[in-house]
Every structure is written in C-alpha cells, then in structure tokens.
Amino acid sequence: MMAREAVVGVDIGGTMIHCVLMTPDGEVLTARSVATRTGGRAVLSQVQALVGELQRDASVVVTGVGVGATGIIEPVTGRVLVSTSAFHDWVGHRLADELSALLTPPVTVSNDVRAFLLGEMRWGAMQDAQDVLGVTIGTGVGGAIALGGRLITGRSSGAGEIGHTPGYSGHVCPCGGVGHLETVASGPSIGLRYGERTGIRGETGVGVTRRARAGDTDALNVIQNAGRALADAMLSAVTLLDVNHVVVGGGVVGAWDLLAPVVSERIAANPPISGDVLVVRPSIVAFPAMGAATLALRPDGGSARVVTRGSGESRRHWTGAA
C-alpha cells in the first residue's frame, strides 16, 4: 500500500507542547502531548523528539512541519522577538533555522495564537467567517486577527496581542507591563487574584473553577471579573477592527460555562458600534496543533513550498487565506 502524505503540527505553549500527525484533509492520525520543559534549547529538543516519534508511522510520508510558538514571532525568519518572563530562554531563538537543522521535513513557524486561529477558520468554529478575533487563555492571554480571510501580523508582528492591552488592574504582568488583561484573565492570574481575596495561595485557574462550581462565591467572583475584563477587551478590539466574530481557545474553554453568561451580558450592554451581532464561540478544534499543521499546507491543501526572501535565506512560510 502506498504511504499517504501527512503533515505534523506542533503547538508550543507555556505549559504543554501538543503535536499532531494530520492528513491534508484534516484527519488527525496521531496526537502526542508533553509538559513544556524549562529553557529554549530543551523545548526544541522536545519538538525534535515528538516529530521523530510521529514520523515513525510507516503508513505516511511527512511532507512538512508547522509550528505555532508562544511569543511574538517574526514571520519571515521565525525569530522570537518578545516573550514573557514566564518562558525562560526563548527570546532570540531563530526557530525556523534551528528546527530546520533538527528536522528533515520543511518547517514553517508562526505565533501559536495565529496558528490556532488559522485552524479554527480552516477546520473548526469559524469556517464560515472572514473577519475574526482569536483569543487564547491559558498560561497567558494571546490574540490574533484575520481580516478578509487573511491573518494579520502587523508592522512588528504584534498584531492581536490583546492580553497585553492595559487598563484592567493595577497588577504587574509577566511581560513587565502594568494592568494588562493577562493579569486578571490568565489561568495563573485567576489563581493569584483568588489568593488575594481568600489568603489561599498556590491555587490554579482550574482549581478556582472547581471551587466556583462547588459554590465558592469568592472563586465565582474572580472568574466573573475575568469574564468582564475579557468582554471589554473583545469589544475594544472588534470596535477598532470592525470584526464580528470571536473564537476563544486555551484552558479557559473548560470554564466557559461560567464565563459565557458574564461575557454575553457585558456585550449585550455595550454592543459593537457597527450594529452587527457579535458572535463569540469557544474553540471546537481538538488540538490547536491542527492549526499549526495547517501552516505546513498550501491553500490548495498540498505541502508548503519553500519561499526565498530578499535576504537570500530560504523560508518555509505561508500566510494565505484560511
């Protein structure tokens, strides 16, 4: 039997690395996940091991690897420009070059939230949408934007970084800024805000969610505050961009039953100035790594091609329509 073509998608997050082996038509053949180790070189070694494991599937030929990585990623070189202090030894790594040296198939690198949004628009909750804000909430809060079906990177590759917009608290963000959305809405921040209320330290966002469902009013208040801040940030973004769809992913989806009523109420009280109905949906893609795998596909579903940029360096890169 002739081996099928497949691509590998890798989602590098602050807590976990998820990896999928996927056919060009979106069938996930195998999935793997490991806890993210400390240090950039260690993470790259983890990716090498995961991709190597998936490549052992004798029934497929891996034609490309797509990587969605945490931080602000320069789209041509794959260099990490900015990352929070929570992710050690990450800034400066030229991920496209370094992973290309470790892996045999062509490598395409992008920001993890852009990869997530691309996956949702190609396979998931936003297949019929063209103008979308993507938000992921887990270890941090990330954002990405698609306009007219195309991902927008911005002048310095920071377009969509909704988690680092200020005005939501007086707390210091892991990036060093003050009052960012991430200080009230990320999983670790939800735990910290609960500790400030109750004196119970070391709780996680998952733990606070569990307490809220069990009737802990302090836990519920913290989550509702996160929901209000999230809704306000969404409304600001969609007003500026004239976007009418938002997809939310990351660990927060596990608490969506608690967040959704607050988000919906806030949006209903402050509807977009455009008059459009703002559609907010949680992610339905099993792994954000599906979006990363999509980075290794051309719009026609084939494997990614090598593009030569003006610097003379070859880069595997595609930011075409979702």
> What is the pLDDT averaged over residues 181-206?
95
- DSSP state at residue 203: -
Span 45-56, pLDDT tens digits: 999 999 999 988
pLDDT interval class at 322 (50, 70, 90): very low
Contact, 181 vs 229, CB < 8 A? Answer: yes
* CA atoms within 13 A of residue 211's CA, in its CB half-sphere: 20
Quick check: 267 and 231 in contact, CB under 8 A?
yes
Kindly tell me the sign of the dihedral angle through the C-alpha atoms of 24, 28, 29, 31: positive
* pTM assigned to the model: 0.86
Please give the pLDDT value at position 169: 93
Residue with structure tokens 């990614």?
A: 304
pLDDT at 104 over 70: yes
Taking alpha carbons only, the member of 68, 88, 86, 63 closest to residue 78 is 68
Percent of the chain residues topping a pLDDT of 70: 91
Banded model confidence at residue 303, pLDDT cuts 50, 70, 90: very low
Instruction: Give whole-number Cα distances, 106 to 63, 75, 100, 288, in Å.
Output: 7, 15, 7, 20
Handedness of CA 79, 304, 140, 159 (dihedral sign): positive
Q: Which tokens go with 133?
A: 């804000």
DSSP string over 285-304: -S-THHHHHHTTB-TTSSBP
Mean pLDDT computed over 1-19: 87
